[in-house]
């Protein structure tokens, strides 16, 4: 068993693959082996999380997830711990493995109770109500009243909760909750999830991170040759810059954006400045700033390292371009040239909105995938992704991995879909889910910082790298979130401070 941290990559499997792995293992092992191993792992983690618990309350559903919980209850009871089970199943409807676990629990004398026992902060709730077996038919039905009462009690309890395999109601492949089963507000105590057999993508994106809390993993002693459907990203490799290097060795980044106040009364030069500052602090050799402000650059802060350029003075095919940060309406006028001439390109914010609104720009973006040597990264938030895909934000968030893959395939580029558990996709590659970052990033300008950081990573990539865009997006996203994770507790995190905290690693 291991705790999942951002320090290493981890393979992720969808429901279909997990079912195949489970079926193959069940066929190769003696009957009931997997459920017994799952119960043993759950009991072991329960004691590790709450070693001084007076009561461990285990809420068990009527399927195999409940069977895992019953196995854990039996082991805990036999070891002298007070494990109390609230069981929502009926014997006649139980799958064979779960029925055997139910019989074992009764024979062992495990106490069953219709209502949850009183629990204190040192005690533990175990959620073994709904797991991977939450079918589409079950999702369509109104949730059972007893199930909702158990979940509500866990959510409000001062005792921490351990979820078996998945938080009940969370859909394994998407990180969304089934209708009526989403948590309301923040839980009163810590949450943990023990993923069994495989790690599921939904634990790490959308509502998964809040629902799952700390994720632990036990493969139940089963190995597989199944190819992962996605990966939880790990940190970028640590690299040392050669002593005999110079600014030209680390790449040039040009930021194009920052519509001026005079154009529409909505000045957005700060967005471009944040992206430029991020590229600079992330190690780019030179950072050029081409503001779309009609030449009104007199109000720039004191950051003399930035090199001011007019857009027409940039050599687009010899630099890594980050285009769109605060670009407003002005960015549409430069996009045709940018899309046709830039070799390495990061498109963010208003550049994405302009492309979504204009079919000719979409054709130019897709045409880049046919040109040798071109690398393109899109960095949309869910609303920008929805505009590019011609759908609404709800559709994007309903399946974030599918939305990122659709963007990557439609435009032949790398797509970095921002949000809780940012998803990075590229044609022909399993998507990556980023494990770093937290709610401190939910302030204006942090997306511009990410765009500048992607630009710096892309500029530093070897010119012959076929994976330059995909790797740059993955590495930048990880570093961006890690900077927020390191932020001192109680101190405000602004985008400007975030940019200055970046490192090239």
Sorted by where each begins, the domain ranges of the chain are: 2-232, 247-501
CA dist., res. 154 & res. 261, Å (int): 51
Point out the least confidently predicted range of 52-56, 393-397, 464-468, 495-499.
464-468
For range 380-386, the mean pLDDT = 98
CA dist., res. 60 & res. 97, Å (int): 14
Q: And the tokens for 143?
A: 């949730």
CA dist., res. 398 & res. 177, Å (int): 9
pTM above 0.85, yes or no: yes
pLDDT confidence bin for 293, thresholds 50/70/90: confident
Q: And the tokens for 263?
A: 């154009």
Phi, psi of 4 (to 5 degrees): -85, 120
Q: And the tokens for 321?
A: 């371009």
Q: And the tokens for 505?
A: 């690693």
Residue 141: how many other CB atoms lie within 10 Å = 11
Point out the least confidently predicted range of 7-21, 128-142, 320-334.
128-142
For range 48-60, the mean pLDDT = 97
Three-class secondary structure of residue 40 per DSSP: helix
CATH code assigned to 2-232: 3.40.50.10260
* pLDDT at residue 465, as a whole number: 77
Q: Listing from the earlier edge strand, what are the strands of the sheet with 214-218?
A: 2-3, 214-218, 191-196, 161-164, 124-128, 56-60, 83-87
pLDDT at 346 over 80: yes
For strands 10-12 and 230-232, give the pairing: antiparallel
* pLDDT at residue 76, as a whole number: 98
Domains 2-232 and 247-501 share a fold: no
- For residue 164, list its beta bridge partners: 194
Of 58, 46, 47, 168, the C-alpha closest to 113 is 58
Burial 430-456 (b: 16+ CB within 10 A, else e): ebbbbbbbeebbeeebbbbbbbbbbbb
Which DSSP category does 179 fall into?
A: T
First to last CA, the chain: 30
Q: What is the CA radius of gyration of the chain?
A: 26
CATH code assigned to 247-501: 3.40.1190.20
pLDDT at 282 over 70: yes
For range 309-316, the mean pLDDT = 94
pLDDT at 85 over 90: yes
Under a CB-based contact definition with an 8 Å cutoff, are residues 263 and 295 in contact? no
pLDDT at 429 over 60: yes
Q: And the tokens for 291?
A: 């503001």
* pLDDT at residue 138, as a whole number: 58
Under a CB-based contact definition with an 8 Å cutoff, are residues 154 and 125 in contact? yes
CA dihedral 152, 155, 157, 160 (to 10 degrees): 140
Q: For the residues of 74-105, what is the DSSP string, one character each?
A: HHHHHTT--EEEEE---GGG--HHHHHHHHHH
Which helix (H) or strand (E) is 324 found in, with range?
A: none
pLDDT confidence bin for 102, thresholds 50/70/90: very high
């Amino acid at each position: 068993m291991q705790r999942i941290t951002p320090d290493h990559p981890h393979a992720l499997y969808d429901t279909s693959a997990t079912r195949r792995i489970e079926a193959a293992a069940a066929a190769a092992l003696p009957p009931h082996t997997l459920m017994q191993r799952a119960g043993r792992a759950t009991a072991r983690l329960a004691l590790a999380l709450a070693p001084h618990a007076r009561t461990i309350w285990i809420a068990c559903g009527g399927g195999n997830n409940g069977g895992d919980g019953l196995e854990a209850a039996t082991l805990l009871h036999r070891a002298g711990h007070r494990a109390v089970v609230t069981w929502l199943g009926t014997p006649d409807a139980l799958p064979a493995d779960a029925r055997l676990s139910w019989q074992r629990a009764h024979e062992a004398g495990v106490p069953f109770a219709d209502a949850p026992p009183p629990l204190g902060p040192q005690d533990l709730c175990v959620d073994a109500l709904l797991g991977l077996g939450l079918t589409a038919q079950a999702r369509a039905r109104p949730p059972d009243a007893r199930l909702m009462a158990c979940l509500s009690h866990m959510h409000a309890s001062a005792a921490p909760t351990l979820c078996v395999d998945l938080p009940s109601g969370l859909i394994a492949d998407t990180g969304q909750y089934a209708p009526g089963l989403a948590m309301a507000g923040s839980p009163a105590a810590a949450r943990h999830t023990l993923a069994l057999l495989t790690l599921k993508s939904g634990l790490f994106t959308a509502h998964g991170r809040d629902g799952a809390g700390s994720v632990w993993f036990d493969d139940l002693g089963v190995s597989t040759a199944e190819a992962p459907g996605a990966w939880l990203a790990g940190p970028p490799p640590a690299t040392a810059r050669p002593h005999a290097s110079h600014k030209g060795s680390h790449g040039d980044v040009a930021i194009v954006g920052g519509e001026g106040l005079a154009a529409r009364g909505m000045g957005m030069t700060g967005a471009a400045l944040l992206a430029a500052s991020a590229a600079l602090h992330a190690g780019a050799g030179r950072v050029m700033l081409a503001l779309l402000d009609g030449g009104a650059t007199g109000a720039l802060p004191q950051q003399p390292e930035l090199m001011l350029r007019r857009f027409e003075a940039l050599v687009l095919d010899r630099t890594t371009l980050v285009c769109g940060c605060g670009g407003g309406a002005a960015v549409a006028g430069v996009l045709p040239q940018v899309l046709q001439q830039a070799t390495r390109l990061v498109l963010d914010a208003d550049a994405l909105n302009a492309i979504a609104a204009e079919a000719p720009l979409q054709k130019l973006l897709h045409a880049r995938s046919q040109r040798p040597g071109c690398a393109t990264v899109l960095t949309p938030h869910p609303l920008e992704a929805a505009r590019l895909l011609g759908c609404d934000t709800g559709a994007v968030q309903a399946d974030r991995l599918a939305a990122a893959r659709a963007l990557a395939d439609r435009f032949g580029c790398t797509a970095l879909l921002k949000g809780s558990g940012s998803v990075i996709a590229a044609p022909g590659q399993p998507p990556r889910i980023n494990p770093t970052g937290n709610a401190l990033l939910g302030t204006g300008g942090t997306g511009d910082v990410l765009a500048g950081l992607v630009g710096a990573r892309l500029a530093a990539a070897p010119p012959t790298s076929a994976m330059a865009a995909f790797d740059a997006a993955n590495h930048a996203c990880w570093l961006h979130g890690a900077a927020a994770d390191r932020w001192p507790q109680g101190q405000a995190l602004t985008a400007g401070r975030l940019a200055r905290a970046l490192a090239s690693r």
